[in-house]
Amino acid sequence: MIAALALSACFFLPQQQVPDRLKPLVPAPENFKPTPHPQPEANVPARRGQLQTGSFANTPAKPPQIALPFDHDRPLLKIAGIEITAQDLNTLVAYYRNYRQGPDSLLLADAVKALMPAKVLQSIFAQDLPAMKRKIEAARAAVQNGEDFASVVQTYSNDTEAPTKDGRYTFGREKAVQPFDRYSFETPVGTLSPIFLTVYGYHFLEVLAYAQGESRKDDKTTIRHVLVMYPRLVALENSGEDVRQWIKQQVNSAAIEVLEPGMENLIPPENRQQIQTN
């Protein structure tokens, strides 16, 4: 099976040199009815360079809070008919700021690129999502009710590449697809993440430990998780097909709609020919 912790190199390339055409704060259009959303809270503990464990809210250090790129949530792009919203991008930019430097235009372009594969698969396999959601909810409930994590993994999870029976991995930032990467570094130690959707299917994870590096980009996390994978991906993998290449082909053929002027600048250059024009 495909490991849920598959390297995101197919979809997450080095930052592209995109002109910084966006203002630090992008207001909603004049005729837009705003729906405010809260900004993430700052959390700035000292760097320790050591393993952190425990059942308390122990997370890697965050930089001081500054305004996020978008002031109100609204849909900005559609990929295969699935929206990428201002909140989607704000959330990922806030995460990137924890350990990266550079203008928001670069972070936003990387965020769009990182989000596209999951949106495309969500569209292709929309009919599978309800049953998958019920299964992952049952798995998470079993863990919350005290069932052994390894037993839950064996019963429910489609990730057979994990090195341990409880679906455990240790890795650094941007070694996993989004939002698996983000939840792996933002979930407090000893607690379960919410259920979330990636390009491979539904997951939840538990963070077991953090190891803070000399800088934030060098942090490592140890997690264990459950994956309920899209059934078609399981079948493709079992047939011997290169699933990552198949996913890349779907992304590179998906229709893209620009819902707000200027957002085309955030689409990867290799995908801009997929933009639908009226």
Measured over the CA atoms of residue 123, residue 247, residue 169 and residue 131, the dihedral's sign is positive
**Other C-beta atoms within 10 Å of 27: how many?**
11
pLDDT reported for residue 181: 98
The second-level CATH assignment, the architecture, of 127-238 is Roll (3.10)
**Which of 180, 166, 179, 172 is CA-nearest to residue 211?**
172
Return the amino acid letter for 142.
A
Predicted confidence pLDDT, tens digits, the chain (278 residues): 444 455 443 443 334 444 443 443 555 565 555 554 444 443 434 443 344 544 334 555 555 567 899 999 999 999 999 999 999 999 999 999 999 988 999 999 999 999 999 999 999 999 999 999 999 999 999 999 999 999 999 999 999 788 889 999 999 999 999 999 999 999 999 999 999 999 999 999 999 999 999 999 999 999 999 999 999 999 999 999 999 999 999 999 999 999 999 999 999 999 999 999 87
Q: 86 is written with which tokens? A: 């201002």
pLDDT reported for residue 186: 96
Strand partners, 257: 78
pLDDT reported for residue 160: 76
pLDDT reported for residue 53: 46
- DSSP sequence for 200-264: SEEEEEEEEEEE--SSGGG-EEEEEEEEEE-HHHHHHHHTT--HHHHHHHHHTT--EEE-STTGG
Dihedrals phi, psi of 171, to nearest 5 degrees: -160, 170
**Which of 90, 168, 77 is CA-nearest to residue 123?**
77
Decide: pTM greater than 0.85: no
